[in-house]
Amino acid sequence: MFKYFVLLLFYFSTFTLYAQEQDIKIKSLEVYPSGERFSLPVITTDKKLVVEFDVQADFEPTLNILFRFCDKGWTPTDNIFLLNQNKNQLLLFDFERLPFTVEDADYHFKGSFPDRDNYIEFPFSGKWIFYITDRQDTSIVYASGRFYVIKPEVELNARLKRDQLEDKTYWPTDLAKVFNITTEFYLPEQFYPSYVDRIEIIENRKEYYPIVVKRNDNTLERQFKWDANRKFEFIARDIAAGNEYRQVDIRDFNYFNTKNVKAQRDGLEFSRFFLNASPDLNGNKLYMDYKNPQATYLNVTFSIRPPDDVYSDIYIVGAFNNWKLSPKYRLKEEAGVYSITLPLRRGIYDYQYVVADEEDGKIVNDDWLVLEGNTWDTTKEYDIFLYYNEPNFGGYEKIIGYAKLPRKK
């Protein structure tokens, strides 16, 4: 009897150790407002936050989602008044098993927040971040995502028009083409004018590269105006026009019928500086339904032959990496062709190539236009946020105004 007990204890101890040490990978993370899959994750009173992702694991993992309110620079606050304790963690997960034909992923999760049982709440207007962690050890973070909670108290009047840079001579002249976004508003009586901080503009899901106009800006490109009472105006005159994004569509099972595929059917891409591209998804992606037996992961190779006068490194950025430049996404060069292979779930992705240098592990001198072009004949979306230095609860950064500005051809 004792022998069997020892064997049983050994089995469960080994299973527990294996469960704790299993390799868990979060894939295809999506964050969007309910009913608006192609929008920046801006959560208002009539919208919920939707979080979806796949999990690659040997058996159903035990995870935790921790939601944190952030201050400037997306830094989670340690302010005890803003921690939202007892309403900031999801501990009970309902996973769905993916079809057995799906490779490199095993489970799928989809959740909406605040949830119906009110376990999760977002009481403060501003920037938020969530971490997908190990349930027993929240210092083990598998993935994270950003979103905005908006309780607008100030009505923003934003308008967009074509403009041109005038600070120097540009060649080709297309490089001088920009958009001008002017944001006006009247500050309600409950706010202090001196606490109005800045405007941030997010173009096409590029959360890591906001266009910022501060209250002390007074240059040809960025301007702040105030009538010393309650009328404010923020102006950004240097928003690069850019071009429509490139797209990769790997949903066609008949054509993309192997594990290793090329992003484009022609295999090789080139500069599009003088080309007007087809409409895109404004920086978004569209996954194939996770319940589809063909919604598997492919190894997708992107290749480009740049013009001879491009001497710096080339990076790929897009909906698959949240439009964030990283050394991880630097293309390798061979015989004048730059390539990279990425594991992607079947779907459609917006992306582009960026020319840049790397110094001490950081991307510098990045040029988003030289390979993609710069034209007014494009469509974009701009999310505009008004920030205020709220003095209550020990002081924190609050979003008091929000506007969405679609740019149409």
Residue 27 lies in a domain: yes
Cis-peptide into 99, omega within 30 deg:
no
Could you tell me which residue, 387 or 91, shows the higher pLDDT? 387
| 39 and 74 together in one domain | yes
Question: What confidence score (pLDDT) does residue 118 get?
Answer: 64
| 347 and 202 together in one domain | no
| 12 and 37 together in one domain | yes
Two structure tokens written together for 236? 């950004």
Question: What confidence score (pLDDT) does residue 386 get?
Answer: 98
| 260 and 344 together in one domain | yes
Sheet holding 107-113, edge to edge: 25-33, 49-56, 107-113, 96-97
Confidence label for 39 from pLDDT (cuts 50, 70 and 90): very high
Confidence label for 276 from pLDDT (cuts 50, 70 and 90): confident
Residue 373 lies in a domain: no
The phi, psi pair for 224, rounded to 5°, reads -120, 130
Burial of 113 (0-12, 13-18, 19+ CB in 10 A): buried
| 272 and 298 together in one domain | yes
- Residues above pLDDT 90, as percent of the chain: 82
Question: What confidence score (pLDDT) does residue 409 get?
Answer: 60
Mean pLDDT of the chain: 92
Of the candidates 97, 114, 149, which is a domain's last residue? 149
Across 176-180, 273-277, 374-378, least confident range: 273-277
Residue 165 lies in a domain: yes
Residue 183 lies in a domain: yes
pLDDT at 326 over 60: yes
| Largest Cα–Cα separation, the chain | 89
Please, are residues 389 and 197 in contact by the beta-carbon 8 Å criterion? Answer: yes
Could you tell me which residue, 186 or 166, shows the higher pLDDT? 186
| 144 and 161 together in one domain | no
Of the candidates 127, 149, 171, which is a domain's last residue? 149
| 18 and 145 together in one domain | yes
Residue 362 lies in a domain: yes
Cα–Cα distances in Å, from 110 out to 144, 297, 299? 15, 19, 25
| 27 and 143 together in one domain | yes
Question: What confidence score (pLDDT) does residue 79 get?
Answer: 93
Across 54-68, 109-123, 278-292, least confident range: 109-123
Could you tell me which residue, 19 or 305, shows the higher pLDDT? 305
Report d(CA 321, CA 352) in Å as an integer: 11
| 271 and 329 together in one domain | yes
List, for residues 371-383, the tens digit of each pLDDT value: 999 999 999 999 9
Using alpha carbons only, give the angle 128, 392, 208 rounded to the nearest 5 degrees: 25
Which amino acid is residue 319, in one-letter code? Answer: A
| 181 and 271 together in one domain | no
| 75 and 8 together in one domain | yes
Of the candidates 149, 171, 188, which is a domain's last residue? 149
Give the single-character DSSP code of 20: H
Report d(CA 405, CA 183) in Å as an integer: 10
Two structure tokens written together for 274? 């003088």
**CATH code of the domain in which 25 resides:** 2.60.40
Number of domains present in the structure of the chain:
3
Two structure tokens written together for 332? 């390798």
| Domain membership of residue 233 as a residue range | 157-242+378-407
